[in-house]
Structure 1
Amino acid sequence: MGRKVTVATCALNQWALDFEGNLQRILKSIEIAKHRGARYRLGPELEICGYGCWDHYHESDTLLHSLQVLAALLESPVTQDIICDVGMPVMHRNVRYNCRVIFLNRRILLIRPKMALANEGNYRELRWFTPWSRSRQTEEYFLPRMIQELTKQETVPFGDAVLATLDTCIGSEVCEELWTPRSPHVDMGLDGVEIFTNASGSYHMLRKAHARVDLVTMATTKNGGIYLLANQKGCDGDRLYYDGCAMIAMNGSIFAQGSQFSLDDVEVLTATLDLEDVRSYRAEISSRNLEASKVSPYPRVKVDFALSCHEDLLEPLSEPVEWKYHSPAEEISLGPACWLWDFLRRSQQWKRFVGAYQGLRVELGSSLGTLLLRGSAHTAFGWLFQAGFLLPLSGGVDSAATACLVYSMCRQVCEAVKDGNREVLADIRTIVDQPSYTPQDPRELCGRILTTCYMAGENSSRETCDRAKELAQQVGSHHLGLNIDPAVKAVVGIFSLVTGKSPLFAAHGGSSRENLALQNVQARVRMVVAYLFAQLSLWSRGARGGLLVLGSANVDESLLGYLTKYDCSSADINPIGGISKTDLKDFVQFCMESFQLPALQRCVCTCETTAVALKLTSACLGRSILVAPPTAELEPLASGQVSQTDEEDMGMTYAELSVYGRLRKLAKTGPYGMFCKLLVMWRDVCTPRQVADKVKRFFSKYSINRHKMTTLTPAYHAESYSPDDNRFDLRPFLYNTRWPWQFRCIDKQVLQLERRQQDLEGVD
């Protein structure tokens, strides 16, 4: 006899503190789930208030408004006749918990607090919440009066319990609990729980999806059962992008896969599965059954409700599916692009306040009103009129990759509109300020959204200028070319006027201090010019609005501090700031092939012919964006050619930087520990002394420049070794840059290894 149940899980693009929007998205997901026949609906972690509220969790307002949204859900007819499982913060006995609130037909069945909190990487849950530590125990939770009036309940169970419906048993995990060594689903499954639910707030990191899928499938392979995973999606107002990947699994197989990246605010997965398949799967695992006979029971909350309806033998069951993974290059093309879309459209939503401020000016009828609108109001509400992005386009890989991400965003917007996404259509019409506009061509849309700017100086080459211009033409951006020399000479002229001294580049006989200062002036002038054009370029074209400035410093440059503080690495947001140079090159190659952007690999020199448009000759190998050596172009040219490259300036390669970053962050090594690791890793290519020199060079430059990490532009988090000082990499920014004790330990080991080698050679 079958026992078919239809269950639903969700991926919702919730926004921190957007209680109105979050409520509507929750209701929409429940409505979709019911329409598809589901009798249980699971939502993501902390979906009512949004996961990324951070220190707002300490505010009583956040708790109050979450309760108000819960009341609205309980009262809504949409939530009737389906078990709803929602996430919100709850205070119990003056302690804040991250909870699941499970209710049915205006009655709360259980409040289940999270028992293992995420507190590593970008997570700081122990800062705001306390884990529930009483395994298999519940208490009475006294409901607030506003909820009592709706549910007619004075208290409800609060703690570690499971739901016993008329036909099955359901148990909850919350995000991190799936990743712990002793996950609750193990004991719950042994105690007869057949459906496990996991509400997550799991953010995107390159190559992370594999681990998430493996954990879910393994949970049901060893113990049997149905597993539902819900997740936040989208940008929650911070550096993170939550990548969905909702899924439904049973007995080690995936039966429903949600998208990892999409512009849909609400995504609901449903599956119709047979509980008897769980029971028969478990029946022949004798080791599991022996353990089950000894397990301590969970408190059961009895629910007079069944997930299965009348038996329909002809109703089709869901079939297993093979999980489709994105390559890292595809992940980069999709994740940061979706993140950019959320930033763009959500800053746009503030346009609804423009009328209020215009009314304020009319009402005041004085210079104060004019001041509010022309001066301080524009400063305080700088995102009231955003209408796109401005990107300084240098002709190098990093800024080219950033341009490709905006182009990828435009492609996704056009596809979403073509697929009938009315929310995306409404948002893009607001952004371009045209109520009847319908985007169809990504290149045309990019021309409305993206302004690129090549800022030439006397040290810029013709090749980088041409590369930037050609890429801009192919992605369709509105492209500007300008020369910053007058501004640079004016700034240096001020210094010379005051001091009577005129600094020179090293190539012209100047000192290293003069050389660095002259480079930094150029870089910082570019930042000032970028913001000037971001604020006024649309005005100069007769259009309303302003632009968000995009940065394009990669994670490896940030790790070493190979950037000028407050130069054009300073921007509003940086979509590639958490991506390594190696992954960026793979991404650019992917864009060249998938987006048909030959400018990324084609040379722009005069020797190029149509026949070799996509095949580089050795004569022009250094002239394409993809293979050109990275350069800041801040020092004088030599015979018209670039004389400065990034890797020569840094004294190390980008590939080496990637290794240093992972050892420093993931392996948690200091100078001596990194030296020991690299002795083995690089034993075939470096002597111990060479390894020591490389490690000491890295840590010296890293510590000298660590202060720059405190001012990094907010960047999309993608790599596990990001040096982001604000959330992810909590290290000092004032060091003893000589590292005397640590470097002495390294030198001592080098001498011992060299003596040992000499002794071995003497024996031979």
Structure 2
Amino acid sequence: MHLIKLAAACLNQTPMDWDGNQKNILAAIQQARSQQVDILCLPELCISGYGCEDAFLGAGLLQQALRVLLEIVPFTQDIIVAVGLPVLHQNRVYNTVCLLNNGKIGGFVAKRFLPGDGIHYEPRWFHPWPVEVQDSLQIGEDCVPFGDIYFNCGGVRIGFEICEEAWVARRPGTRLAQAGIDIILNPTASHFAFDKRETRKRLVLEGSRAFSSSYVYANLLGNEAGRVIYDGDTLIASNGEMLAAGERLSFASWRLISALVDVDRTRMNQARTSRFVGNPQACVHLDFNYPQRLPEKQSESKPVYPAWETGESLKQEEFARAVALGLYDYSAKSRSQGFALSLSGGADSAAVACLIRLMVELGVAEVGIENFCARLNLPQTELNTIEQLMPVLLVCVYQATRNSSETTRNAAEKIAHAVGAEYLELDIENMVSGYRQHIEQAIGRSLNWAQDDLALQNIQARARAPGVWMLANLRNALLLATSNRSEAAVGYATMDGDTSGGLSPLAGIDKHFIRHWLHWLEQNAPNSPGVNPIPALSYINTQQPTAELRPGAEQTDEADLMPYVLLNAIEKAAIRDRQTPWEIYCLLNSRFDYTAEQLLTWIERFFQLWIRNQWKRERYAPSFHLDDESLDPKTWCRFPILSGGFSHELKEMRKNALSQMGEEPG
């Protein structure tokens, strides 16, 4: 029995925050050393941060990353540490992992498979390292191995799969297994998405089983660079059995898990299942003395996952925790002093207010109110309870016009008080009337709803922006926009009105889900101590979504657009799955009980509005990436601002539908 203690640490890093990133790395190493860990895996590019984007191509960034690495080296006595950083080699930049061994640099493994889809853009900055090629890198007076290599540290073979490399068909682990690897380390920067942990668990478990090895997976944590949230997933498996798993979406700066693995056991499994075919990679031999160990009880039991990860409401929990963590990190790293929110009394702004309350409850429950406030640069000595903290952290303002109803005013007030925010009311009818009168005088005629409907609606929404911006400026607060993904798809938002803000927390999620989530939160809450349901949401959940911008009470979002459940289905089919209008019609006709003419009208409306409003999506405030249905044109869903507008495809859809019904096209 040859027992080795492995550890994986997640880190909440920030691009180019050299001091902060180094502090977190050293804290994780210190904790690992205190737990007598032999081998510690840290996340991908954790020295520089993953989201440096075009700054990766700056010489200064690469020099700083190497400086931090050299300052970390002395803290790795009696431990093996894998740490990620960008490296310049032969006038090319590579995404690498450096293995630090007992106070020395053992070598660099360069990433071979680079993701270039979705939010990932690695081929823009990095070169893929060619398979089975080895070289060396001069660092000061030392010449260290570099490239497609693995390590023999004191008789234990250590290899790497770096993030994307575990997701491709030709996993490096296959070749590593042929070389008799004992331990595979996977430093990763894997963004959060709903239900993604199950896929990661399968990759780790299958890797440890198929390669007859121990497998260590370490992810980044938190809202690193503004849009992407990392859930801090950490996993350790051996021979197809999960030994340790860390809690995701933590508010801490780092978290560490560890487990004992038996190298002799994995080797005997390899003896039964694998055939040695020679070394496809170069082996770097390093000295390391492992202590003699006895089995520990905790290594003999399977990991216990948090209750919220095993419940029936996983997506609701993940949404609450991911966006709450994203808001927390965004506020801390942008150095803002809390949030400002235009609270309309509708679902979207209520959801944002509730998410901030959940941010506070979840964060305080985990790290304590003193640490929570310190991270946000708030005066924690004066804030001893959540009730004292909330009005300092969030100001909500309801801004009424003559078209606003008592229903939404009452709902806004109830929600603001329920979450504990400071609540203000403004009557902006005089401002709206003033704008209207100025334009009427300029154009020489009166405006009316029959002729000027859109302009008269939009001026009400735009008139709300200056006041809430002023409140945000007075408090040095971050103004939060409230538009959701469904509105972004069809442009059902007033530019410079409800889209105003520095961050749009809901732009990555559809309205149909938001409404269901609010019903869930009315009676439930994330499964964590001190986190409670918000019964006041009943004032929101009993309403039909409405912009309240036309005279009278008959205006609703779904009457203006289409049922949200149908809009969501069209959006998924058209944008995520890239189906044609005719294919979408056939799909909806089999799923929904609407007339053919109604379906044709709504599909045509969706595509026409989608084409017309790409410029709005280009101007939206940054949003959080939550799933593979994002419409963010900067990181996920790129679409031309000007195009042919699907005119031929829409005509073809209507022609085919009428032909199917036995009717002649008009």
What TM-score, normalized to structure 2? 0.94
Q: Corresponding residue for 1:643?
A: 554
Counterpart AA for 1:635: R
Counterpart AA for 2:537: L
**1:625 counterpart SS class:** helix
2:318 counterpart of 1:336: no
Distance in 2 between residues matched to 1:627 and 1:192, nearest whole Å: 62
Distance in 2 between residues matched to 1:205 and 1:311, nearest whole Å: 39
Q: 1:693 aligns with which of 571, 576, 601?
A: 601
2:27 counterpart of 1:28: yes
Counterpart AA for 2:232: G
Moved more, 255-264 or 452-461: 255-264
Aligned 8 A contact 1:333 1:587 in 2: no
Q: Corresponding residue for 2:41?
A: 42
Distance in 2 between residues matched to 1:628 and 1:756, nearest whole Å: 40
Aligned 8 A contact 1:553 1:569 in 2: yes
Superposition pairs of residues 167-182 of structure 1, within 5 angstroms: 167-182=155-170
Q: Corresponding residue for 2:640?
A: 732
Q: Corresponding residue for 1:304?
A: 287
Q: 2:543 aligns with which of 605, 628, 636?
A: 628
Counterpart AA for 1:32: Q
Aligned 8 A contact 1:254 1:323 in 2: no
What TM-score, normalized to structure 1? 0.82
Counterpart AA for 1:396: G
Aligned 8 A contact 2:180 2:270 in 1: no
Superposition pairs of residues 187-226 of structure 1, within 5 angstroms: 187-226=175-214
Aligned 8 A contact 1:559 1:722 in 2: no
Distance in 1 between residues matched to 2:353 and 2:198, nearest whole Å: 28
Shift of residue 753 of structure 1?
2.3
Aligned 8 A contact 1:271 1:318 in 2: no
Aligned 8 A contact 1:5 1:275 in 2: yes
**1:490 counterpart SS class:** helix
**1:269 counterpart SS class:** strand
Moved more, 213-222 or 60-69: 213-222
Gaps spanning 5+ residues in structure 1: where? 349-385, 537-544, 602-623, 758-764
Distance in 2 between residues matched to 1:653 and 1:315, nearest whole Å: 55
Counterpart AA for 1:671: P
**2:251 counterpart SS class:** coil
Any idea what the Cα deviations from partners look like across 1:95-147, whole Å, max 9, x if unmatched? Answer: 111001112234321211111111111111111111112x232112223x3xx
Aligned 8 A contact 2:3 2:292 in 1: no
Shift of residue 709 of structure 1?
0.6
Any idea what the Cα deviations from partners look like across 1:377-407, whole Å, max 9, x if unmatched? Answer: xxxxxxxxx3211111111111111001000
Distance in 1 between residues matched to 2:372 and 2:594, nearest whole Å: 54
Any idea what the Cα deviations from partners look like across 1:33-78, whole Å, max 9, x if unmatched? Answer: 111111111111111111110111111111011111111112x3x2
2:575 counterpart of 1:665: yes
Distance in 1 between residues matched to 2:202 and 2:322, nearest whole Å: 21
Q: Corresponding residue for 1:366?
A: none
User: What is the number of residues matched between the two proteins?
Assistant: 653
Q: Corresponding residue for 2:529?
A: none
Aligned 8 A contact 1:413 1:424 in 2: yes
Aligned 8 A contact 1:407 1:443 in 2: no
**1:317 counterpart SS class:** helix
**2:617 counterpart SS class:** helix
**1:156 counterpart SS class:** strand
Q: 1:424 aligns with which of 372, 391, 395?
A: 372
Counterpart AA for 1:336: V
Q: 1:81 aligns with which of 78, 82, 99?
A: 78
Shift of residue 294 of structure 1?
4.2
**2:99 counterpart SS class:** strand
Distance in 2 between residues matched to 1:470 and 1:657, nearest whole Å: 30
Shift of residue 295 of structure 1?
6.4
Q: Corresponding residue for 2:145?
A: 157
Counterpart AA for 1:497: Q
Counterpart AA for 1:424: F
**2:206 counterpart SS class:** helix
Aligned 8 A contact 1:569 1:713 in 2: yes
| Greater Rg over alpha carbons, structure | 1
2:418 counterpart of 1:474: yes
Any idea what the Cα deviations from partners look like across 1:311-350, whole Å, max 9, x if unmatched? Answer: 43678635222544261111111111111111222233xx
Distance 1:315 1:686, change over 3 A: closer
Q: Corresponding residue for 2:299?
A: 317
**1:453 counterpart SS class:** strand
Superposition pairs of residues 372-383 of structure 1, within 5 angstroms: none
Distance in 2 between residues matched to 1:314 and 1:247, nearest whole Å: 18
**2:624 counterpart SS class:** coil
Q: 1:91 aligns with which of 75, 88, 102?
A: 88
Distance in 1 between residues matched to 2:98 and 2:28, nearest whole Å: 16
Shift of residue 258 of structure 1?
1.4
Q: 1:138 aligns with which of 123, 134, 139?
A: 134
Any idea what the Cα deviations from partners look like across 1:602-640, whole Å, max 9, x if unmatched? Answer: xxxxxxxxxxxxxxxxxxxxxx31241110000002xxx
Q: 1:497 aligns with which of 433, 441, 449?
A: 441
Q: Corresponding residue for 1:570?
A: 500
**1:436 counterpart SS class:** helix
Any idea what the Cα deviations from partners look like across 1:722-763, whole Å, max 9, x if unmatched? Answer: 2112221111111233x3322233234224423499xxxxxx
RMSD: 2.2
Moved more, 444-453 or 49-58: 444-453
**1:301 counterpart SS class:** strand
Q: Corresponding residue for 1:356?
A: none
Aligned 8 A contact 2:576 2:628 in 1: yes
Shift of residue 444 of structure 1?
3.0
Aligned 8 A contact 1:580 1:719 in 2: no
**1:162 counterpart SS class:** strand
Shift of residue 480 of structure 1?
0.5
Q: Corresponding residue for 1:599?
A: 536
Shift of residue 260 of structure 1?
1.2
Distance in 2 between residues matched to 1:627 and 1:315, nearest whole Å: 52
Aligned 8 A contact 1:530 1:568 in 2: no
Distance in 1 between residues matched to 2:516 and 2:134, nearest whole Å: 52
Aligned 8 A contact 1:443 1:474 in 2: no
Q: Corresponding residue for 1:365?
A: none
Identity %: 30
Aligned 8 A contact 1:274 1:317 in 2: no
Gaps spanning 5+ residues in structure 2: where? 526-531
Q: Corresponding residue for 2:249?
A: 261
Shift of residue 719 of structure 1?
3.0
Counterpart AA for 1:753: Q
Counterpart AA for 1:477: A
Distance in 2 between residues matched to 1:55 and 1:669, nearest whole Å: 33
Distance in 2 between residues matched to 1:226 and 1:588, nearest whole Å: 42
Shift of residue 691 of structure 1?
4.2
Any idea what the Cα deviations from partners look like across 1:7-29, whole Å, max 9, x if unmatched? Answer: 11110000001011111111111
Shift of residue 467 of structure 1?
0.8
Counterpart AA for 1:634: L
